[in-house]
């Protein structure tokens, strides 16, 4: 939550230190004492009412700026649910079934990145395909973090796609396309970063032919197609889930 807020400020504007797994009043007091030494502001998302009172009391007495990031959210949810919150700190870190599913999905995705693990390609929930620099890997990782097992396959003009792709259910495969001009810019920067020699990697005509070939490949096989031009990873991922028709994971 705090990280999202901080994106609205210059990097040098705030120096933030995160303290996690604060489970005892002794540890909390140590952190508050250090905050006083540093004259630091205190932001927290404690679920324990005792810890909330302890922080507020200390900061008020020490004249430190203080903000409870949960604000009235817990009280609001309690009112809506009609029940008191558990105030169980350990519940934040329990390994439930959904968490375990996400870990396994991430492990699967990492071992099926960029054409790896073709022998078990059929075990993927989603298979992304596209030419180089069409956001296959970052989209795969984002989807895996939500609990979906994702494989991605790199395509290249003149190289036959893996035969395993053609035996998959058509609904499982999503082809990624992008505007040629934007892809040229991305590839040119990457070629400079990698200090690549003379290749057709960033050549406009080659890129146009490559994208036309992949579009035909996707259409001929009845695979889903998404244009990722100017799209955030989150938006692309949401569209992928919608096209494949997978249920949302809590």
Q: What single DSSP character describes residue 249?
A: P
Q: For 15-29, 88-102, 145-159, 208-222, which range has the lowest pLDDT when averaged over its residues?
A: 88-102
The band of 126, judged by pLDDT with boundaries at 50, 70 and 90, is very high
Residue 198, both tokens: 């003379």
The whole-angstrom distance between residue 170's C-alpha and the CA centroid of its chain comes to 25
pTM of the shown model: 0.67
Helix (H, G, I), strand (E, B) or coil at 73: helix
> What local confidence, expressed as pLDDT, does residue 84 receive?
81
Chain centroid offset of residue 228 CA: 16
What tens digit of pLDDT does each residue of 9-40 get?
A: 887 888 888 888 888 999 999 999 999 999 99
Both tokens assigned to 40: 């630091």
Q: Identify the H or E element spanning 53.
A: helix 49-62
**Nearest partner of 48 among 90, 20, 88, judged by Cα:** 88
**How large is the greatest C-alpha to C-alpha distance in the chain, in angstroms?**
71
For residue 94, what pLDDT is reported?
Answer: 57
Look at residue 92 in the predicted model and tell me its pLDDT. 58
- Per-residue burial over 172-197, b = 16 or more CB atoms within 10 Å of its CB, e = otherwise: bbbbbbbebeebbebbeeeeeeeeee
Q: 125 is written with which tokens? A: 């929930």
Q: Please provide the CATH number assigned to the domain covering 97-244.
A: 3.40.50
Q: How far from the centroid of its chain's Cα atoms is residue 24's Cα?
A: 31
Q: What pLDDT was estimated at residue 48?
A: 86
Give the per-residue pLDDT at 168: 98
Find tokens 């990624």 and name the residue.
176
Indicate the average pLDDT of the chain: 91
Contact status, residue 43 vs residue 71, Cβ threshold 8 Å: no
pLDDT digits (tens, 9 = 90+) for 46-79: 888 899 999 999 999 999 999 998 877 777 777 8
Backbone angles phi, psi at 228, to 5 degrees: -95, 10
Higher pLDDT, 177 or 249: 177
Percent of the chain whose predicted confidence (pLDDT) is above 90: 69
Residue-range domain boundaries for the chain:
18-93, 97-244
Task: Read off the pLDDT of each residue in 148-163 and give the average, rounded to a whole number.
Answer: 97
The predicted pLDDT at position 91 comes to 64
CA dist list (Å): 233 to 114, 183, 228: 17, 16, 9
Percent of the chain residues topping a pLDDT of 70: 96
Residue 80 token pair: 């809506």
> pLDDT, tens digit, for every residue of 85-108?
777 666 655 556 788 899 999 999
């Amino acid at each position: 939550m705090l990280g999202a807020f901080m994106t609205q400020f210059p990097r040098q504007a705030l120096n933030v230190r995160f303290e996690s797994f604060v489970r005892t009043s002794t540890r909390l007091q140590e952190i508050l004492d250090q905050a006083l030494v540093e004259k630091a502001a205190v932001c927290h998302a404690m679920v324990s009412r005792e810890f909330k009172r302890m922080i507020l009391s200390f900061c008020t007495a020490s004249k430190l700026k203080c903000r409870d990031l949960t604000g009235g959210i817990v009280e609001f949810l309690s009112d809506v649910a009609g029940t008191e919150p558990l105030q169980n700190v350990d519940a934040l870190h329990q390994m439930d079934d959904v968490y375990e599913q996400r870990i396994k999905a991430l492990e699967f995705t990492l071992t099926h990145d960029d054409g790896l693990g073709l022998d078990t390609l059929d075990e993927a929930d989603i298979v992304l395909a596209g030419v180089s620099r069409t956001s296959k890997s970052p989209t795969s990782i984002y989807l895996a973090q939500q609990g979906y097992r994702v494989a991605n396959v790199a395509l290249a003009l003149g190289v036959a796609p893996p035969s395993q792709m053609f035996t998959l259910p058509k609904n499982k495969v999503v082809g990624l396309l992008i505007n040629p001009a934007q892809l040229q810019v991305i590839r040119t920067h990457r070629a400079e970063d990698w200090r690549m020699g003379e290749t057709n990697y960033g050549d406009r005509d080659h890129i146009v032919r490559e994208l036309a070939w992949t579009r035909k490949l996707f259409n001929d096989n009845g695979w889903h197609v998404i244009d990722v031009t100017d799209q955030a990873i989150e938006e692309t991922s949401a569209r992928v889930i919608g096209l494949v028709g997978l249920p949302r994971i809590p």
